[in-house]
Structure 1
Amino acid sequence: MSGRDVILGRIRRALGPEPDDAQDPHAGYESAVPRDYLREHGTRGEDATVDLLAENLADYRALVHRTDADGLAELLARLLAARGTRTVLVPPGLPRWWLATADATRVPDRAAHTARDLDRVDSVVTGCAVAVAETGTLVLDGSPDQGRRRITLVPDHHVCVVRVPDQVVASVPLALERLDPRRPLTWISGPSATSDIELDRVEGVHGPRTLEVVLVSGV
């Protein structure tokens, strides 16, 4: 048996039985992985879950802001102005009114954009697919209000809008229930950072140096 046969056999066993083999006890497939772990830690209401998300986002050095639908456009305009943003990258499905009062040139996402083009953009504003309170994690899935993965990995400043409480879940297992594994999922826990052996932290290594999260209600 070749190495190729061994690898393919392992993959076949991991994928599980074919329909015709499902009832065959001698088919040789591995049993299903038990999933009897805790789905979330403790019991919280919606407000407490959102508070936990904000706390853990801040712990990862994200800048957290709160507003309602009426104040969202003004807040986004203020955040971009404070950053000195002249150009802001906009996913195709981002609601237009979000940036209605922002004094910055909108740059539509285009497939022809290179990494160099994206690096010239000052900021990017996106929506979110789901946010995980227990881990302080944002998940983007490439939906129209979030755009392609690379537009949030190259610009140095990312503003992510999270609708609360609808897009906030307590735990990773609950988040996975909402996500389509066939989509390009990007999991973000704070701004991009790394540390060397002496634990010197460097931010902006493989993603935005500054992550701002807007928790917006009533949207």
Structure 2
Amino acid sequence: MGKLVVKVLEGKEKREKQYEVMREELDPYTTVLELLLKIREEQDPSLVLRYSCRMALCGSCGMIINGRPRLACLTKMKDLDEPIRIEPLKNVGTIRGLVPDLSSFFSKYRKVRPFLVAKDEEEQESPKSPYRQTDEEVKRYLQFNYCIQCGLCYSACPVVSSNPNFLGPAAINVAYRYTADSRDSDKLRVLLLDTPNGVWSCRVAGSCSVVCPKGVDPSLSIQLAKSLILRRKI
């Protein structure tokens, strides 16, 4: 069966460590997360990584695997070429090991006011009745509501790599999700998007949508946000 070679680039300096794992100890459905935990338990207890749910819901285990941003818990060994090369997410800092510093990512996410703003503030704080929606109203934003804030799209975005002030795909996606919601009345959020570092920095590379583990398609939400802004200006 032989040995599987795993190369891990750790920390800010991208120090490379190489590990070997016997193939007979793995099966084709072993995930990269399971592989890394095995290496940490049996070979290198200093290997640092972040994870939680193990089922692609929390977004904690994002990393670059064979050159592509992926969730380690969702990536199976059978889908990868060898040797396997793992490193921290790009376009963000690194706290330690394979753990990314997502401070800038979440700062931009919060900046776009990712919450519903009702016309009546008193009603919003103390609702007296349900905020009803039709199926068609829900469909306008439902796809974009599945974002788990893993940061993969941010890491894959070529615009973020050249312009750190760009809001990024996830922030614009969530901004469009709430703006397209019939229950929302926020006027400020669109102004935040209609800036040089907002939607107009996007060059439609589409890499954000390619790497999204939940099929959100942030590239589409960015273009819909552009259309929404232009229609409001006419």
Q: Aligning the two structures, in what range does the TM-score lie when normalised by the shorter sequence?
A: under 0.3
Higher RCO structure (Cα 8 Å, ≥6 apart): 1
Normalising to structure 1: TM-score of the pair? 0.27
Please identify which structure carries the higher strand content: 1
Please identify which structure carries the higher helix content: 2
